Amino acid sequence: MTDRIPILTIDGPSGSGKGTIARRVADQLGWHLLDSGALYRLVALAGQRKSLDPADQGAHERVAQQLDVRFGLAPDGGEQIWLEGEEVSKAIRTEQTGEGASRVGAMPGVRAALLERQRAFAQAPGLVADGRDMGTVVFPSARLKIYLTASAEERARRRYNQLKDKGLDANLAALSLDIAERDRRDASRPIAPLKPADDALIVDSTSMTIDAVLARVLELAAARFGRG
Ligand SMILES: Nc1ncnc2c1ncn2[C@@H]1O[C@H](COP(=O)(O)OP(=O)(O)OP(=O)(O)O)[C@@H](O)[C@H]1O
Ligand SMILES: Nc1ccn([C@H]2C[C@H](O)[C@@H](COP(=O)(O)O)O2)c(=O)n1
């Protein structure tokens, strides 16, 4: 990793809005985007498709080492992700795969296998990286680190609305439990736990609109990196 590349990290719990904000900030700045959660989701999905034992760390580590993935953009600007040549953009976004990603994310061998792949995203003119350990482990010398959070109730409500908007079945009480369990697992694992970096700026989006969060992050980026 070169320290000359400007890097903005956005970490935080599930449903805090990291992905939404990271994508829009990267678009505005014209920088590259690393959605690190997608990599953990891809390892989980690949493991499910190979019928691996969900607890088999060695097998998931090998999957992570050999991950054959390609990222692209659909004509409408949406994401397109191929796993071993198959388009999986929708399949990796299910709650089941998110849960699987949280499990494989607790495996040290998987994290080690994905580390350099993530660092390779740091390319000129700059990188916006979102996840759980972007500011603490993957890019510890990033020049701007944001920890984006929101109350557990608000995050469950956002996820509920997101699923409903996609025409999917959703149950708010069940989602709240799932989010609480994912928070617990991601924050309590011994390796690269979800937590703010010591030098991260905390943005609590509980009562903020997406546009307000975007404006705040762009303001912080302009102050740190200049207006370009
Ligand atoms: N400030 C906000 N106010 C209202 N809704 C929001 C806000 N930020 C994000 N959302 C909505 O909440 C949902 C979850 O956002 P998003 O997927 O970006 O979260 P995330 O932190 O990346 O979650 P995960 O880590 O689980 O992928 C989306 O439907 C998004 O449009
Ligand atoms: N840097 C990261 C990113 C993600 N994970 C794990 C833990 C999450 O619950 C899961 C899914 O992430 P999402 O796509 O919802 O952001 O993947 C991680 O351990 N480290």
Q: What is the pLDDT of residues 79-124, one digit of tens each?
A: 899 999 999 999 999 889 999 999 999 999 999 999 999 999 999 9
190 Cβ contact partners less than 8 Å away, ≥ 6 residues apart: none
| Ligand nearest to the backbone CA of 194 | 2
User: Hey, where are the domains in the chain?
Assistant: 2-222
Query: Among 10, 14, 40, 95, which residue has the most ligand 2 atoms within 8 Å of its CB, making it the best to mutate?
Result: 40
12 is in an annotated binding site: yes
pLDDT digits (tens, 9 = 90+) for 147-156: 999 999 999 9
For ligand 1, whether the C-beta of 16 sits within 6 Å is yes
| Ligand nearest to the backbone CA of 19 | 1
3-state secondary structure at position 7:
strand
168 or 155, which is more confident: 155
Residue with CA at minimum distance from ligand 2 atom 12: 37
Q: Scanning the structure block, which residue is given the tokens 């805090």?
A: 16
Phi, psi of 81 (to 5 degrees): -130, 130
Q: Scanning the structure block, which residue is given the tokens 């949406």?
A: 78
What number is the average pLDDT over the span 120-148?
Answer: 98
207 Cβ contact partners less than 8 Å away, ≥ 6 residues apart: none
118 or 72, which is more confident: 118
For ligand 2, whether the C-beta of 101 sits within 6 Å is yes
Reply yes or no on whether the pLDDT at 56 is more than 80.
Answer: yes
Q: What is the pLDDT of residue 77?
A: 81
CA-based angle 140:101:83, to the nearest 5?
A: 100
Q: How far is the CA of 14 from the centre of ligand 2 (A)?
A: 8
Q: 143: how many CB neighbours lie within 10 A of its CB?
A: 16
Rg (C-alpha) for the chain, rounded Å, is 17
Q: Scanning the structure block, which residue is given the tokens 């390779």?
A: 120
3-state secondary structure at position 9:
strand
Which fold is adopted by the domain 2-222?
Rossmann fold (3.40.50)
> What is d(CA 44, CA 103) in angstroms, rounded to the nearest whole number?
8
Q: How far is the CA of 75 from the centre of ligand 1 (A)?
A: 23
Q: What integer best gives the mean pLDDT of the chain? A: 95
Share of the chain above pLDDT 90, in %: 89
Q: What is the pLDDT of residue 227?
A: 67
Q: How far is the CA of 84 from the centre of ligand 1 (A)?
A: 28
50 is in an annotated binding site: no
172 Cβ contact partners less than 8 Å away, ≥ 6 residues apart: 156, 157, 160
62 Cβ contact partners less than 8 Å away, ≥ 6 residues apart: none
> What is d(CA 149, CA 195) in angstroms, rounded to the nearest whole number?
11
For ligand 2, whether the C-beta of 14 sits within 6 Å is yes
